Structure 1
Amino acid sequence: MELCPNHDEDITYAPGPPQAGVPTEPHQWPGTFHGSQALLYAEVSQRQIAELGAALRRAPADE
Protein backbone atom coordinates (compact mmCIF):
# COMPACT_ATOMS: atom_id res chain seq x y z
CA MET A 1 0.00 0.00 0.00
CA GLU A 2 1.59 3.21 -1.15
CA LEU A 3 0.26 5.29 1.75
CA CYS A 4 0.76 2.62 4.44
CA PRO A 5 2.71 3.84 7.48
CA ASN A 6 5.17 0.94 7.10
CA HIS A 7 5.56 1.23 3.31
CA ASP A 8 9.27 2.07 3.42
CA GLU A 9 10.04 -0.67 5.93
CA ASP A 10 8.10 -3.18 3.82
CA ILE A 11 10.09 -2.26 0.71
CA THR A 12 13.34 -2.63 2.69
CA TYR A 13 12.19 -5.98 4.12
CA ALA A 14 10.95 -7.45 0.81
CA PRO A 15 14.28 -8.93 -0.42
CA GLY A 16 14.90 -10.76 2.88
CA PRO A 17 12.54 -13.74 2.67
CA PRO A 18 13.60 -14.79 -0.86
CA GLN A 19 17.25 -14.61 0.17
CA ALA A 20 16.36 -16.98 3.02
CA GLY A 21 14.63 -19.37 0.60
CA VAL A 22 11.07 -18.19 1.31
CA PRO A 23 9.12 -17.48 -1.89
CA THR A 24 7.51 -14.05 -1.96
CA GLU A 25 5.53 -12.02 -4.46
CA PRO A 26 5.56 -8.29 -3.67
CA HIS A 27 2.71 -6.19 -5.02
CA GLN A 28 2.21 -2.44 -4.98
CA TRP A 29 -1.02 -0.54 -5.50
CA PRO A 30 -0.47 3.21 -6.01
CA GLY A 31 -2.74 5.50 -4.02
CA THR A 32 -3.82 2.84 -1.54
CA PHE A 33 -3.46 2.78 2.24
CA HIS A 34 -3.25 0.08 4.89
CA GLY A 35 -6.64 -1.62 5.00
CA SER A 36 -7.96 0.03 1.84
CA GLN A 37 -8.97 -3.33 0.40
CA ALA A 38 -11.85 -3.25 2.89
CA LEU A 39 -13.50 -0.65 0.63
CA LEU A 40 -15.02 -3.39 -1.51
CA TYR A 41 -16.71 -1.02 -3.98
CA ALA A 42 -13.42 0.57 -5.09
CA GLU A 43 -11.89 -0.82 -8.28
CA VAL A 44 -8.39 -0.84 -6.79
CA SER A 45 -9.69 -2.84 -3.81
CA GLN A 46 -11.26 -5.40 -6.11
CA ARG A 47 -7.97 -5.64 -8.00
CA GLN A 48 -6.04 -6.04 -4.72
CA ILE A 49 -8.33 -8.84 -3.55
CA ALA A 50 -8.10 -10.61 -6.92
CA GLU A 51 -4.29 -10.36 -7.00
CA LEU A 52 -3.94 -11.53 -3.40
CA GLY A 53 -6.25 -14.48 -4.05
CA ALA A 54 -4.31 -15.43 -7.18
CA ALA A 55 -1.01 -15.25 -5.26
CA LEU A 56 -2.40 -17.51 -2.54
CA ARG A 57 -3.59 -20.03 -5.14
CA ARG A 58 -0.07 -20.08 -6.65
CA ALA A 59 1.55 -20.64 -3.24
CA PRO A 60 2.84 -24.15 -2.60
CA ALA A 61 0.79 -26.17 -0.16
CA ASP A 62 2.51 -26.88 3.13
CA GLU A 63 2.86 -30.64 3.58
Structure 2
Amino acid sequence: MVLPTIAPARNENFADLAPAYIDVGEVDIFRDESVACAQGLWRAGVAAELHVHSGMPHAFDVLLLGDESSARHREDRIRVIRSI
Protein backbone atom coordinates (compact mmCIF):
# COMPACT_ATOMS: atom_id res chain seq x y z
CA MET A 1 0.00 0.00 0.00
CA VAL A 2 1.32 3.44 -0.95
CA LEU A 3 0.40 6.17 1.53
CA PRO A 4 -1.28 9.34 0.22
CA THR A 5 1.54 11.38 1.75
CA ILE A 6 3.82 9.69 -0.79
CA ALA A 7 1.36 9.59 -3.71
CA PRO A 8 -1.13 12.46 -3.14
CA ALA A 9 -3.50 11.38 -5.93
CA ARG A 10 -4.34 8.34 -3.81
CA ASN A 11 -6.01 10.48 -1.15
CA GLU A 12 -9.62 9.60 -0.54
CA ASN A 13 -10.50 13.02 0.86
CA PHE A 14 -9.01 16.17 -0.65
CA ALA A 15 -11.37 18.56 1.13
CA ASP A 16 -9.04 19.69 3.92
CA LEU A 17 -5.88 19.99 1.86
CA ALA A 18 -4.11 23.25 1.09
CA PRO A 19 -4.22 24.85 -2.35
CA ALA A 20 -1.62 23.39 -4.67
CA TYR A 21 0.67 24.29 -7.53
CA ILE A 22 1.40 21.21 -9.63
CA ASP A 23 3.68 21.11 -12.63
CA VAL A 24 4.73 18.00 -14.48
CA GLY A 25 6.28 17.06 -17.78
CA GLU A 26 4.07 15.64 -20.51
CA VAL A 27 6.21 12.49 -20.75
CA ASP A 28 6.86 12.21 -16.99
CA ILE A 29 5.96 8.79 -15.57
CA PHE A 30 3.97 10.62 -12.87
CA ARG A 31 1.96 12.80 -15.29
CA ASP A 32 -1.34 10.97 -14.95
CA GLU A 33 -1.03 10.81 -11.17
CA SER A 34 -0.28 14.55 -11.02
CA VAL A 35 -3.33 15.32 -13.16
CA ALA A 36 -5.47 13.01 -10.98
CA CYS A 37 -4.29 14.85 -7.88
CA ALA A 38 -5.30 18.21 -9.36
CA GLN A 39 -8.68 16.78 -10.35
CA GLY A 40 -9.24 15.44 -6.83
CA LEU A 41 -8.48 18.86 -5.39
CA TRP A 42 -10.81 20.59 -7.86
CA ARG A 43 -13.66 18.16 -7.12
CA ALA A 44 -13.22 18.92 -3.42
CA GLY A 45 -13.35 22.67 -4.07
CA VAL A 46 -9.65 23.17 -3.34
CA ALA A 47 -7.72 25.56 -5.57
CA ALA A 48 -5.10 23.87 -7.72
CA GLU A 49 -2.99 25.28 -10.51
CA LEU A 50 -1.86 22.56 -12.92
CA HIS A 51 0.80 22.89 -15.62
CA VAL A 52 1.65 20.02 -17.97
CA HIS A 53 4.79 20.99 -19.89
CA SER A 54 4.73 19.73 -23.47
CA GLY A 55 7.40 17.18 -24.36
CA MET A 56 9.14 17.41 -20.98
CA PRO A 57 10.36 14.34 -19.03
CA HIS A 58 10.52 13.69 -15.29
CA ALA A 59 12.85 16.17 -13.52
CA PHE A 60 12.83 18.53 -16.52
CA ASP A 61 13.13 21.45 -14.12
CA VAL A 62 16.52 20.17 -12.95
CA LEU A 63 17.68 18.80 -16.30
CA LEU A 64 17.04 22.15 -17.97
CA LEU A 65 18.34 24.32 -15.15
CA GLY A 66 19.78 27.46 -16.70
CA ASP A 67 18.33 26.71 -20.14
CA GLU A 68 16.10 29.30 -21.83
CA SER A 69 13.37 26.70 -22.37
CA SER A 70 12.92 26.37 -18.62
CA ALA A 71 12.26 30.08 -18.06
CA ARG A 72 8.44 29.84 -18.16
CA HIS A 73 8.15 27.16 -15.51
CA ARG A 74 10.65 29.01 -13.31
CA GLU A 75 8.65 32.22 -13.64
CA ASP A 76 5.44 30.38 -12.73
CA ARG A 77 7.03 28.91 -9.61
CA ILE A 78 8.43 32.27 -8.55
CA ARG A 79 5.01 33.88 -9.06
CA VAL A 80 3.36 31.27 -6.83
CA ILE A 81 6.05 31.49 -4.12
CA ARG A 82 5.75 35.30 -4.03
CA SER A 83 1.98 35.04 -3.63
CA ILE A 84 2.26 33.00 -0.41
TM-score (norm 1): 0.70
Q: Which residue of 1 aligns with 2:59?
A: 35
Cα deviation for residue 21 of structure 1 reads 3.0
- Matching of residues 1-63 of structure 1 within 5 Å: 1-38=25-62, 39-59=64-84
Structure 1 residues without counterparts, runs of 5 or longer: none
> What is the root-mean-square deviation in Å for CA atoms of aligned residues?
1.8
Instruction: List 4+ stretches of structure 1 deviating above 3 A.
Output: none
Greater fraction of residues in strand: 2
Using the aligned pairs only, state the percent identity: 31
Greater fraction of residues in helix: 1
- Aligned pair count reads 59
Structure 2 residues without counterparts, runs of 5 or longer: 1-24
Question: Do the aligned partners of residues 16 and 30 (structure 1) sit closer, same or farther apart at CA in structure 2, a change above 3 Å counting?
Answer: same
